Amino acid sequence: MIHIENGQNIPENETLRVYSETGDYNDSDFIEFYNINEPGIIAGAFHAQYVKYGSLVYMFNDPKELGEEILKIDRESTHTAASFVRMQNELLIKLNGGELEPQSLQEVFDNEQEIMEDRISENEEIIEDISNSNVEDGLTEENVTENTKTEIPVEDIIENLENVPETEILEEKVIETVPEIIETEIIPEVTPSTSLSEEIISYARNRKAKKIKNNLI
Amino acid sequence: MALRAAEHIFTGEKTLYSSYDHTKTTLGDLIQQRSGSNVLDNFAGPMPIGLARPMEASTAIAVAYPHVIKFSEDLHWVFAIDNGTAAATRRVVLYEYNLLTSVFTWKGFITLTFPTATNHTVRGFRVVREIYSDGTASVDGTSVTGTGTNWDSSRLSVGSRIGFGSKDPTEINDWYEISSIGGDGSITLTTNAGTISDGPYVIEDLMLIISTTNATLTNGGLFVVKGINYNTFSIGGTTIPSATTVDRIRAVYWLTDASTLTNTISCGAAIEPMTSWTEHNVYVIDGTTTTNRVYVYNIRASLSLTSGKSTNAFVLVTGAQTPTGTCSQANNGRIASLSHGPGAGENCLYFVTTTRVYRARLTNITSGNTLWQSDAMVEVPPGGIVTYPATGALSSVEIADRIDRLIIISSGTAGARSYVTKYNTISDPFDHIFLVDDKQFDQSTTDSNAVSHPAISASILSVWSEDGVCYICRNGTTAALNNIYAIPLASHWSYAGINGNNQRLVTPEIYTPNINQFLRVYVNSSKQLGSLTMGLPPEPYRVYYRTSGISDNTGLWESLDDTGNMEGIGSSDSIQFMFEFKTIGSFCIPARIYSITVIYEDNTTDSHYQPSVAHSSTSTKVFAWRFSTLFGGTVPALRVRLYDAVTGGLILDDNTTSSTSGTWQKSTDGGLNWGAYDTADKINETTYIRYTPTTLGDNIRVRALLTQN
Backbone angles phi, psi at B384, to 5 degrees: 80, 175
> Is the pLDDT confidence value at B625 over 50?
yes
Q: What is the pLDDT of residue A105?
A: 87
Q: What is the pLDDT of residue B676?
A: 96
Higher-confidence position of B619 and A145: B619
Tell which of A32, A162, A167, A190 to mutate to test the B interface (max B CBs under 10 Å): A162
Q: What is the pLDDT of residue A193?
A: 42
- Are B540 and B610 in contact by the 8 Å Cβ rule? The answer is no
> Is the pLDDT confidence value at A178 over 70?
no
> Is the pLDDT confidence value at B709 over 90?
no
Tell whether A39 is within 8 A of chain B (Cβ).
no
The whole-angstrom distance between B554's CA and the closest CA on chain A is 57
Backbone angles phi, psi at B665, to 5 degrees: -140, 165
Backbone angles phi, psi at A68, to 5 degrees: -65, -40
Helix residue spans in A59-169 (DSSP H): 63-73, 80-96, 104-129, 154-157
In whole angstroms, what is the distance from residue A36 CA to residue A42 CA? 10
The amino acid sitting at A137 is D
> Is the pLDDT confidence value at B276 over 50?
yes
Q: What is the pLDDT of residue B545?
A: 98
Backbone angles phi, psi at B503, to 5 degrees: -95, 70
Say which DSSP state B603 is in: S
Q: Is the ipTM of this complex over 0.95?
A: no
**Which range has the worst mean pLDDT, A178-187, B192-201, B262-271?**
A178-187
> Is the pLDDT confidence value at B363 over 50?
yes
**Mean pLDDT within B544-551:** 97
Q: What is the pLDDT of residue B602?
A: 86
pLDDT bracket for residue A146 (50, 70, 90): very low
For residue B686, count CB atoms less than 10 angstroms from its CB and return exposed for 0-12, middle for 13-18, buried for 19 or more: middle
In whole angstroms, what is the distance from residue A58 CA to residue B233 CA? 14
Q: What is the pLDDT of residue B649?
A: 87
The whole-angstrom distance between B268's CA and the closest CA on chain A is 20
> Is the pLDDT confidence value at A184 over 70?
no
pLDDT bracket for residue A99 (50, 70, 90): confident
The whole-angstrom distance between A77's CA and the closest CA on chain B is 21
Higher-confidence position of B414 and B431: B431
In whole angstroms, what is the distance from residue B96 CA to residue A84 CA? 38
Tell whether A12 is within 8 A of chain B (Cβ).
yes
Task: Decide if B246 and A195 are in contact by the 8 Å CB cutoff.
Answer: no
Q: What is the pLDDT of residue A125?
A: 58
From chain B, the residues in CB contact with A43 under 8 A are: 241, 244, 246, 249, 251
Nearest CA in chain B to A193: B86
**Mean pLDDT within B673-687:** 96
B504-531 pLDDT, tens per residue?
999 999 999 988 889 999 999 999 999 9
B458-488 pLDDT, tens per residue?
999 999 999 999 999 999 999 999 999 999 9
Q: What is the pLDDT of residue B206?
A: 98
The whole-angstrom distance between B276's CA and the closest CA on chain A is 27
Q: What is the pLDDT of residue A121?
A: 67
**Mean pLDDT within B678-696:** 96
Of B91, B238, B251, the CB nearest to A44: B251
The residue among B49, B90, B113 whose CA lies nearest residue B244 is B113
Q: Give the total residue count for chain B.
A: 709
Q: What is the pLDDT of residue A134?
A: 42
Task: Decide if B237 and A59 are in contact by the 8 Å CB cutoff.
Answer: yes
Q: What is the pLDDT of residue B1?
A: 60
Strand order, beta sheet including B293-298 = B266-271, B281-286, B293-298, B314-317
Q: Give the rounded percent of residues in chain B with a pLDDT score beyond 70.
A: 100
Q: A–B: how many Cβ contacts below 8 A?
A: 92
**Mean pLDDT within B167-184:** 97
> Is the pLDDT confidence value at A1 over 90?
no
**Mean pLDDT within B12-31:** 96
